Structure 1
Amino acid sequence: MAKRVVPEAERRRRRPTKGGAVLSERTIVETALRMLHEHGREGLTARRLGTALGADPSTLYRYFRGMDELTLAIGDELIGRALRGWEPSGEWLADLREVGLRIYRAYLAHPEAAVLTANRVSGRANEIAGDEAILGVLRSTGLPDPEVVRIYQAFVDQALAFAALDAASLALPEAARADDEAVWRSTYARLPAETHPHIAATAKLLVARMNDSAYPTALEMLLGSAAAAVRDGRGGGTGG
């Protein structure tokens, strides 16, 4: 049987821990984010987290059923940070662009957490609020709901997939990341036209672009496709 998690109001620690912190879900999540940044995914354990909080590791299970539930809460916190302070402008294309970039940047600010959580679905408050907001922006175009959901899926998965991809690069040791980035110049740029004519023809462009994220370009392509759907009469909205 799964462990019972005590409601937040009942489980809040009334006395500070040895480290002077009053425990709450938010305190635990923020500490876990800091540990991920400092020690990586392998460094986030209940024992180490308890030590960082100045509490017995077993105390964590009053707030989360296990480390996996904590992982979901970390992902939900990243979504919350992405959308904190955002309000729709009524221009649907601009709003989607802003939301996509906010999600991408929030995850990249915490690369280890992004790799850990970008593929998860938490069903928690921030995630649900974000999904409601994105669907609301898309439905404001007048697109039929099947088209709304099709674009919504592509939009969200694209932002999270690029966040995970680029975060994985940022999470590499610095030397390994530098070696990867150097390959475009040290290998691809030196391939002869006789054997690799297409790479040779575009080598300078590849060197200039391939170490930068393709997310802004991919996002604009997706938004262009969504705008075409509205223009083609599949939706009656005029925003953007």
Structure 2
Amino acid sequence: MNASERVVPEGARRRRRPTKQGVVLSEQLIVETALRLIGEHGAAALTVRRLGAALGCDPSALYRYFRDTDELLLAVADELIGRTLRSWRPTGEWRADLRSLGLRMHADYLTHPQAALLTCARVTGRTHEIRSVEVILGVLRGAGFPDPEAVRIYHVFVDQTLSFAALDASTLALPEQARAQEVQAWPEIYARQPADTHPNIAATAPVLVAEMGRSGYPAALEMVLAAAAARLQHVRR
């Protein structure tokens, strides 16, 4: 898309006639279609030609909603955040709430691995992301963390979640054969290392194979929450 194109104000965006597929264009429809196409084609999906064909409209109509493909990508990123927030329910216990939110964020990104690779490093500045920042800081401040501690823990919590989401998504996005090779490397190569040359690998091989076959995020999340709890105890003292 051309960044110089003027985006039409919200109230004037609705098409007067349905597209060829019988639907009326909207920002939400474009975002959902882009998310689906990214899942099928990766970054190559973000062209006005592909989107126009999928929506059954003239590609130029997309300029009425987004200035360029980067703005659309930020909207896709914000939609993923919104989906997490819509399905998450706080309990009022800060540690349980951050745990459930982190695990849900991670899982939701892995549902769309191609989109995760494109969006995890982006700051959207849009509605859902702003709400997520407000919610997480509210959980931490409500637990009694002083503002500097709350912001620091927020930073670590979010960056850790997004980093693991991108890492795990990169594995899911591999071609099937490459992904299978990654999985089999642990039992077929590491577990067979001789004790005389690699005593530590040999001693831990069964545990190593089991552990490396799953994401490290849940364990890493527990470490962050434990460290945060220790900081809160220190602050209260």
What TM-score, normalized by structure 2, do the two folds share? 0.95
Q: 1:10 and 1:59 mapped to 2: Cα distance?
A: 12
**1:49 aligned to 48, 51, 54, which one?**
51
The answer for the alignment partner of 2:93 in structure 1 is 91
Q: 1:145 and 1:2 mapped to 2: Cα distance?
A: 40
The answer for the alignment partner of 1:26 in structure 2 is 28
**1:126 aligned to 104, 128, 135, which one?**
128
Answer yes or no: is the 8 Å Cα contact 1:19–1:53 preserved in 2: yes
**1:113 aligned to 112, 115, 137, which one?**
115
Q: 2:27 and 2:85 mapped to 1: Cα distance?
A: 19
Residues 69-218 of structure 1: pairs in structure 2 closer than 5 A: 69-218=71-220
Which 4+ residue blocks in structure 1 deviate beyond 4 angstroms? none
Q: Give the CA deviation at 1:128.
A: 0.3
1:173-200 deviations in whole A, cap 9, x for unaligned?
1111001111111111111122211111
Q: Structure 1 unaligned runs (5+)?
A: none
Answer yes or no: is the 8 Å Cα contact 2:34–2:45 preserved in 1: no
Q: Give the CA deviation at 1:57.
A: 1.2
CA shift in 2, pair 1:123/1:189, >3 Å? same
Q: Give the CA deviation at 1:134.
A: 0.2
What TM-score, normalized by structure 1, do the two folds share? 0.94
CA shift in 2, pair 1:56/1:235, >3 Å? farther
Q: 1:210 and 1:222 mapped to 2: Cα distance?
A: 20
Q: Percent identity?
A: 63
Instruction: Letter of the 2:52 partner, please give it.
Output: G
Answer yes or no: is the 8 Å Cα contact 1:75–1:117 preserved in 2: yes
1:151-183 deviations in whole A, cap 9, x for unaligned?
000000111111111111111111110011111
Q: Give the CA deviation at 1:235.
A: 4.6
Q: Structure 2 unaligned runs (5+)?
A: none
1:48-94 deviations in whole A, cap 9, x for unaligned?
11100001111111111111111100000000000104343211111
Count the aligned residue pairs: 235
Q: 1:235 and 1:132 mapped to 2: Cα distance?
A: 23
The answer for the alignment partner of 1:219 in structure 2 is 221
Q: 1:76 and 1:95 mapped to 2: Cα distance?
A: 21
1:90-128 deviations in whole A, cap 9, x for unaligned?
111111111111111111111100111000000000000
Structure showing greater relative contact order (alpha-carbon pairs closer than 8 Å, 6 or more residues apart): 1
The answer for the alignment partner of 1:67 in structure 2 is 69
Instruction: Letter of the 2:27 partner, please give it.
Output: E
Instruction: Letter of the 1:70 partner, please give it.
Output: L
Q: 1:85 and 1:205 mapped to 2: Cα distance?
A: 34
Instruction: Letter of the 2:136 partner, please give it.
Output: I
Answer yes or no: is the 8 Å Cα contact 2:88–2:104 preserved in 1: no
Answer yes or no: is the 8 Å Cα contact 1:144–1:235 preserved in 2: no
Answer yes or no: is the 8 Å Cα contact 1:82–1:105 preserved in 2: no
